Amino acid sequence: MIKQKRIALFGSTGSIGKQALEVIAANTDKFSVEILTAQTNDVLLVQQALQFNPNCVVIADERKYATVKEALAHTHVKVFAGEKALEEVAAMNCYDMMLAAIVGYAGLKPTLTAIQHNKAIALANKETLVVAGDIIMQEALKHKVPIIPVDSEHSAIFQCLIGETNNPIEKIILTASGGPFLGKKPNFLVNVKKEHALQHPNWSMGAKISIDSATLMNKGLEMIEAKWLFNLHASQIQVVIHPQSIIHSMVQFEDGSIKAQMGLPDMKLPIQYALGFPKRIPNQFPRFDFKKTSTLQFEEPDMRTFRNLALATEALYKGGNLPCVMNAANEIAVYAFLRNRIGFLDITEMIEQTMNKITFIEQPTLNEYFESDAEARNFAASLIQL
């Protein structure tokens, strides 16, 4: 019997987390679950713990500790609570691979801790690389830790690069669905509400990434994610709108040859690929049928309307703490939009003003990243009152 890979699933109650558990449940000969973590959803966390019998669980919201502890009192599952506990369990030696599926900046510290404890990383949490990509990649190199992308575009590129170790990349082509507001103009966008923005045409995802997809910030974050994962210069990263989301991204090599990875849009596929790498695992997921799809379309992104993509391109080129600042302002703005505090177009305004306000640092230390994040959050939050 092959040894099971022991998985720590950070963010198990989210969209990626739940789909990862479906993949694991279908492959219990290959994977076991050792750690589950959630922010507030105690009910689902307990249910998952009872089903997968992990070594421990963390509920980040300390007010929920007693409920979780009591519900699991008759089991051997250890229960921890609080933000610090996320880092503490990330350092435990009961697991082999972390699936980093917490959303936002909150995923950074546990992921860094896992790397520093020589754990392989299946990375869904793109914000970790946006905030401190240089430090994360250096630490991964130092600890000889693989970072396998879960984001579908980066999984596509990763898969296209297999067998190409000695062949330089000319450029990568990141495909974007365009989100629910593809083709719309500012006079339409000014009035959109969260209910519209949360309706993604091709993917069902958590709230934050759904809004990021509607503003195209998601693609901006993904450009920066790609820069670090594949060691690219900003000028080697191109974004193309592809509304069908069948081509998940492409790599162009120095002879002009382009490799693409394709399939139906289903996150279970890149999740399963990252968990099982280097092996592909057979499954019964629906297959893409060329005979039923007559057109695959491509177009230039409208950066004048979706200015978040222009701001992210600026952050990508300038580097330093600017992507970190942009990410912090975006998180504040997106959650304000989700609480109906600001309009859709105000998201971009807040990000732009914050990027202009916070002092630029060319080569930040980890602490300077933390400080830039905090400063940017405070400033962005101060704009909401206006």
Closest CB to Mg ion belongs to which residue? Answer: 151
The answer to the question of whether 206 is labelled as a binding residue is yes
Closest CB to ligand NAD belongs to which residue? Answer: 14
Q: Of residues 251-310, which lie at the interface with ligand NAD (CB under 6 A)?
A: 267
Rounded Cα–Cα distance for residues 203 and 266 (Å): 7
Nearer to ligand NAD, 64 or 119 (CB): 64
3-state secondary structure of 180: coil
Buried b (16+ CB within 10 A) or exposed e, 303-341: bebbbbbbbbbbbbeebbbbbbbbbbbbbbbbbbbbeee
The answer to the question of whether 162 is labelled as a binding residue is no
3-state secondary structure of 244: coil
CB of residue 218 to Mg ion, shortest distance in Å? 6
The answer to the question of whether 93 is labelled as a binding residue is no
3-state secondary structure of 357: helix
The answer to the question of whether 143 is labelled as a binding residue is no
Closest CA to 269 of 68, 54, 22: 22
- The residue within the footprint of ligand NAD, chosen from 125, 249, 272, 305 (CB under 6 A), is 125
If one counts every other C-beta atom within 10 angstroms of the C-beta of residue 143, the result is: 13
> Is residue 126 a contact residue for ligand NAD (CB under 6 A)?
yes
> Is residue 151 a contact residue for ligand NAD (CB under 6 A)?
yes
- The residue within the footprint of ligand NAD, chosen from 21, 57, 60, 336 (CB under 6 A), is 60
The answer to the question of whether 139 is labelled as a binding residue is no
Q: CA of 134: how far to CAs of 129, 149, 357, 364, in Å?
A: 8, 16, 23, 10
Rounded Cα–Cα distance for residues 46 and 66 (Å): 12
User: Is 107 in contact with 11 (CB distance < 8 Å)?
Assistant: yes
Chain-centroid distance, C-alpha 303: 22
The answer to the question of whether 204 is labelled as a binding residue is no
> Is residue 17 a contact residue for ligand NAD (CB under 6 A)?
yes
* Greatest C-alpha distance within the chain: 63
The encoded tokens of residue 155 equal 């999984």
Stretch near ligand NAD under the rule CB under 6 A, chosen from 13-21, 271-279, 284-292, 366-374: 13-21
3-state secondary structure of 233: coil
> Is residue 136 a contact residue for ligand NAD (CB under 6 A)?
no
- The residue within the footprint of ligand NAD, chosen from 203, 230, 335, 370 (CB under 6 A), is 203
- H/E stretch holding 84 reads helix 83-90
User: Is 215 in contact with 347 (CB distance < 8 Å)?
Assistant: yes
Nearer to ligand NAD, 58 or 325 (CB): 58
Total of chain residues touching ligand NAD, rule CB under 6 A: 27
Q: Which one of ligand NAD, Mg ion, none interacts with residue 32, CB within 5 to 8 A by kind?
A: none
3-state secondary structure of 21: helix
User: Is 11 in contact with 37 (CB distance < 8 Å)?
Assistant: yes
CB of residue 213 to Mg ion, shortest distance in Å? 8
Nearer to ligand NAD, 139 or 151 (CB): 151
The answer to the question of whether 13 is labelled as a binding residue is yes
> Is residue 132 a contact residue for ligand NAD (CB under 6 A)?
no
The answer to the question of whether 27 is labelled as a binding residue is no
Residue 196 phi/psi, 5-degree rounding, is -70, -45
> Is residue 222 a contact residue for ligand NAD (CB under 6 A)?
no
Residues annotated within the binding site for 1-deoxy-D-xylulose 5-phosphate are 126, 152-153, 177, 200, 213, 218-219, 222
- Binding residues for ligand NAD, rule: CB under 6 A, are 11-17, 38-39, 41, 60, 101-103, 106, 124-127, 151, 203, 205-209, 267
Residues annotated within the binding site for Mn(2+) are 151, 153, 222
